Amino acid sequence: MTETRDDNVTWLTQEAYDRLSAELEYLSGPGRIEIADRIEAAREEGDLRENGGYHAAKEEQGKIEARIAHLQSVLSTARVGQAPQREGVVSPGMTVTIKFEGDDEEMTFLLASREESGAPIDVYSPKSPLGEAINGKKAGEKATYKLPNGKEATVEIIDAVPYNGGA
């Protein structure tokens, strides 16, 4: 069970791992060359203090380098496959149904890495305040977490089942 709560592991599907690896390979190679060429071309236009193209290209370069660092971090801790799961216990890779205290409406989402974009349902990170509060909880248990405005919210875990890929 401790493995599912390991903050240093990012569980990814093979598809997500391959997509992120390809993006990293592109940004690290051709992406860097393209932005360096754009910076050099803008530099040749003259006075850098008033050269909007140069400053835009340098800003883009910063964004690319930040994305490369993020991808390297995610992929260095990635494990391909499903996190070990137990039906009824919230963990990454589970479809979770919760109900907010004082509200009868239920909310269902996938608890997974944000890198698992493309899921047909909402994705909440296990590292988000809600994700951290419910991770490891069982159906029927309650969890309280802090909202961005500083207030607290309490949710009841209705169900937690392995994610089936939207099937």
pLDDT at 11 over 50: yes
Of 78, 76, 68, nearest in space to 25 by CA: 68
Fold annotation for 94-162: Chitinase A; domain 3 (3.10.50)
Confidence (pTM) = 0.54
Q: Does domain 2-80 have CATH number 2.60.40.10?
A: no
pLDDT at 4 over 50: no
Which one-letter DSSP state was computed for residue 159? E
pLDDT tens string 121-158: 788 888 889 999 999 899 999 999 998 899 999 999 99
